[in-house]
Amino acid sequence: MDKKLLEHISRISDNERSLMSMSEIALSESPMLFDNLPLRRRDYVWNVIGSRQMVSTHTHIRFVDIPIHSHNYIEMMYVCEGSVAHLIEGMPYTLEAGELLLMNRHVKHSITASGAEDIAVNYIISSDFISYAAPRFRSNPNLKDFADEERKEGGKPVYLIYSVKEDHALQNLLENLIRDTVLTPNTPQALNADTLCLIFRYLETRPSLLVHSSAGEGEEDSLRRRIGDYLETYYRTATLTELAETVGMTPPYVSRRVKELFGASFSELVKERRFSEAERLLLQSDIPVAAIAEAVGYENNSFFHRRFREQYGTSPSKWRKNGR
């Protein structure tokens, strides 16, 4: 992480300083003390940032045990240095530096007091983000399950843990979002939302980064994962016939199962996956549009432009310029 940014988020805050002045005995024996601490109440960040913001970040408060709680928003924690010990839905897990925890609003968890060298950042994400971005997740079973349950009242708790310590592009996006919300708070929310979308697209297209999922895998989950893995790997040349051979089914049957499992046709999923990769290349590289069209599976450049305009209402070049 950038040294200036790390130094900024490592500073002991006023809230932390007040916690350090209290004895551990007082904290452990007085649960009401926790409830009355400034900015420590359930959903406190939501009350601070306001419901109109898509995403905000704040440094995780150290030096105190945080009792079991849930939120009315999505929470994502990224550990920059050291480690942070959680109890998530009754399961202990210690997040190490470079790991990313994603929890929907139904998850209950507690956190053990961390030390001065344990630096983590919480990303507070509006549930509205899922309605905005969920269609992108259909080819990734874990993120699809996360999004589906997030949107349900009384949905099941879903949490995902990723290791991003070796993915420098994703680390840069996570740090950029911290920088834009902490160091330059006047950054337009639309820009922060776009950065967040790009983070989720990286998670969608890099299933190997997932190190733990709360969701068990039944027969449907297994088939959904196999289809998702095929689309992730072969989206450039994917065909329904080849997918059917891969999963050992007939093309008509697998076509029906795709619709049942993903809520979209096979061709729609392929298009979404291709456009997701095209978006990434348009924003993150200077590769010519014609080369990007070919890279994501469109041999006919004119056809790619037409489909892109139908999807986004503008040309790839203008979309790239506006996105940047």
Tens of pLDDT, residue by residue over 86-123, are 999 888 899 999 999 999 999 999 999 999 999 999 99
pLDDT tens profile 265-284: 999 999 989 998 998 899 88
What CATH number does the domain located at 3-213 have?
Answer: 2.60.120.280
The highest-confidence range among 129-143, 145-159, 220-234, by mean pLDDT, is 145-159
Q: Which residues contact 34 (CB under 8 A, 6 or more apart)?
A: 27, 40, 64, 66, 67
The string of DSSP codes covering 134-169 is GGGGTT-HHHHHHHHHHHSTTPPP-EEEEE-TT-HH
Q: What is the mean pLDDT of residues 189-196?
A: 85
pLDDT tens profile 19-40: 666 544 344 443 433 344 333 3
Domain locations along the chain:
3-213, 219-323
Amino acid at 51: S
217: confidence class by pLDDT, cuts 50, 70, 90: low
CA triple 67-74-153, angle to 5 deg: 95
Question: What is the model's pLDDT at position 100?
Answer: 97
Q: What is the mean pLDDT of residues 40-46?
A: 35
Residues 219-323, CATH architecture: Orthogonal Bundle (1.10)
Considering the chain, what percentage of its residues have pLDDT values greater than 70?
86
Q: What is the mean pLDDT of residues 138-160?
A: 86
218: confidence class by pLDDT, cuts 50, 70, 90: low
SS3 235: coil
Tokens representing residue 49 in the block: 């940032």
- Which one, of 223, 127, 171, 140, lies nearest residue 2 by Cα? 171
Distance CA(49)–CA(124), nearest Å, equals 9
Average pLDDT, the chain: 83
Instruction: Say how many CA atoms lie within 13 Å of 93 toward its Cβ.
Output: 20
Question: What is the model's pLDDT at position 134?
Answer: 66
